[in-house]
Structure formats: C-alpha cells, structure tokens
Amino acid sequence: MQAALMTGTPTRVAVLISGEGTNLQALIDAAQEDRLSAKVVVVISNRGAARGLERARTAGIATRHLGAVHGQERAAYDSALAAEIAAHDAELVVLAGFMRILSPQFVDRFAGRIVNIHPSLLPAFPGADAQRQALAHGVKITRRVAKDQAVNWNDVAAPDSEAVRVRREMEALFRGL
C-alpha cells in the first residue's frame, strides 16, 4: 500500500480520530512535504473536544464531529460515518487513534481501503496509553502496529506488527508525560 501512496494522483484520505491527533499531524506533514502522495480531505472525530480537529482546521482540512447518541446502535453510527466519508469521496480511511470498534458492515464497505494505526499494544497493554504501560512494566521490546484492516484486536496479537527496541530517549520522553 505504501508504494501506491507514493506515486500518481494523491490518494484522497479520510482520517478518523478520537484525541490528540499526533498521527494525524504526521500524515498532514508528510502530505504537505510531498513525502506521501495523499490529500487528507476530511478528519472525523467521535469526540468534539479532540485536539486533532483543531490540527485539521489549522491545516485547512474539513472536520466533522460525529458523536454517538446515547443508545444508538453501532450499525447506525457506522452508517452515518460511512456516509460522511463517502460525501468527501475518500479513497482510503485511516484510523489514527480512533477509539471505537467498527462494525463488520463498515469494514466490509471499505475492505482493502482501511489502515488502522493502533495506539495500543494488544493484547498485553490495551488503551491509548499503552506505551507508558509497557515502559512502567519494564518491557524492552514492543510493537509498532499499522494494520491494513480494521478489526477488534483486543483478543489477538498483531502478527504483522514490527518489533521495536525501546530506546533510552523514548523512555525519557514517556517519563515526562
């Protein structure tokens, strides 16, 4: 998939976030610096206060807050989410710290066009602060995960993940968080 994003007409990308938006910012920067042949056309968050929405607005990218209504079925939420993505003619959906489990129907609709940059180290350290948990536990090797399919990885190890040695600089960085 990386090769496809490096050549030709920029790929139209919808980015789904729930929080800070640091992975989103990396995508925006890479696209603006021509290191990635992509155009982020919309950023959608399930949290209205997500800082990533401001990052997108600063970059001139359309934003949308799509919060779940209490009692709303997952399929109904995912249908509204899919409609928003389609309205922006996105060719690729990037889950950049999107903290919702998507329905099989959503995944099927965008099959082969979803990349999940997962913030956790499943199944050992779930959640958004997984790297901090791993460091506190004394882990010396961890994983960096970018999946090409959105699935619930809460109960399985990510077989396509890349082993990454924890460096002193990273340890210092996370101690300061």
Catalytic residues: 118
The C-alpha atoms of residue 97 and residue 91 are separated, in whole angstroms, by 19
d(C-alpha 54, C-alpha 45), whole Å: 11
Give the angle 75-43-155 at the CA atoms, nearest 5°.
Answer: 50
Nearest-10 crossing angle of helices 168-175, 130-137: 110
Q: Which residues contact 12 (CB under 8 A, 6 or more apart)?
A: 38, 39, 41, 88, 89, 90, 91, 92
Nearest to 136, CA basis, from 107, 101, 177: 177
